[in-house]
Amino acid sequence: MIFLKGGNSGIGKETAVDLARRGARVIIACRNVKKAEEAVKEIQRRSSSSNVIYKHLELSDQGSVRRFAEEFIREEPRLDYLINNAGELISREKSFKSFKSIVCSDSSPYNQ
Ligand SMILES: NC(=O)c1ccc[n+]([C@@H]2O[C@H](COP(=O)([O-])OP(=O)(O)OC[C@H]3O[C@@H](n4cnc5c(N)ncnc54)[C@H](OP(=O)(O)O)[C@@H]3O)[C@@H](O)[C@H]2O)c1
């Protein structure tokens, strides 16, 4: 089982296609539900795998992160790989529920 932060676009989506094609169960986690649902269909079609799902996650909101983690632990028996793809250098949002002004990606080169 592979949990991929992001995955509804860009590098994350291409990674999800490749991993699903190789037989992995892939969970993409991001904010935009519509984009994610469309991405899941595309990833499933391109990989010929139905073992790809979406879960909502807003990384700048600690409440969302905790809800996600609780649901994940409840529903998934294992986690083999975590891919920290999602994020951005500087958010355009003016405020967050828990953080202000800057959200750095886990994997961003700017966050090293
Ligand atoms: N593209 C490049 O040339 C390049 C070069 C070096 C490093 N990177 C790094 O590689 C990663 C992916 O790049 P990309 O170009 O593929 O980006 P992208 O197409 O903009 O995709 C970003 C993904 O992250 C998700 N995301 C962003 N902020 C989030 C948040 N606060 N909570 C949950 N999900 C969030 C987005 O979901 P939503 O649509 O739901 O927001 C989307 O799925 C980034 O960390 C980027 O800094 C990219």
Domain count within the chain: 1
In the predicted structure, residue 29 carries a pLDDT above the cut 90? yes
Q: If residue 28 lies in a helix (H) or strand (E), which one and from where to where?
A: strand 26-30
**Predicted local confidence at residue 96, as pLDDT:** 53
CATH number assigned to the domain comprising residue 86? 3.40.50.720
pTM of the model: 0.83
Ligand 1: residue whose CA is nearest its atom 15: 10
Q: Would you say residue 93 has pLDDT above 80?
A: no
Q: What is the pLDDT of residue 109?
A: 46
**Domain presence at residue 52:** yes
Residue 110 maps to a domain? no
Nearest to residue 54, comparing CAs of 70, 66, 42?
A: 42
55 alpha carbon to ligand 1 midpoint, in Å?
Answer: 16
Q: Is residue 109 part of a domain?
A: no
- Considering Cα of 76, then 79, then 81, then 83, what sign does the dihedral take? positive
Q: pLDDT tens for residues 44-74? A: 999 999 999 999 999 999 999 999 999 999 9
Question: What is the total residue count of the chain?
Answer: 112
pLDDT band at residue 1 using 50, 70 and 90 as cut-offs: confident
Which atom of ligand 1 approaches the CA of 59 most closely? Answer: 32
Where in the sequence is the domain holding 40, given as residue range(s)? 2-103
Reply yes or no on whether the pLDDT at 102 is more than 70: no
In a domain, 108, yes or no: no
Whether 111 is covered by a domain: the verdict is no
Distance 78 CA to ligand 1 centre (A): 25
Distance 95 CA to ligand 1 centre (A): 19
Answer whether residue 19 shows pLDDT above 80: yes
| Closest atom of ligand 1 relative to the 39 alpha carbon | 43
70: CA distance to ligand 1 center in Å?
Answer: 23
| Segment (H or E) for 54 | strand 52-56
Please check whether residue 83 lies inside any domain of the structure: yes
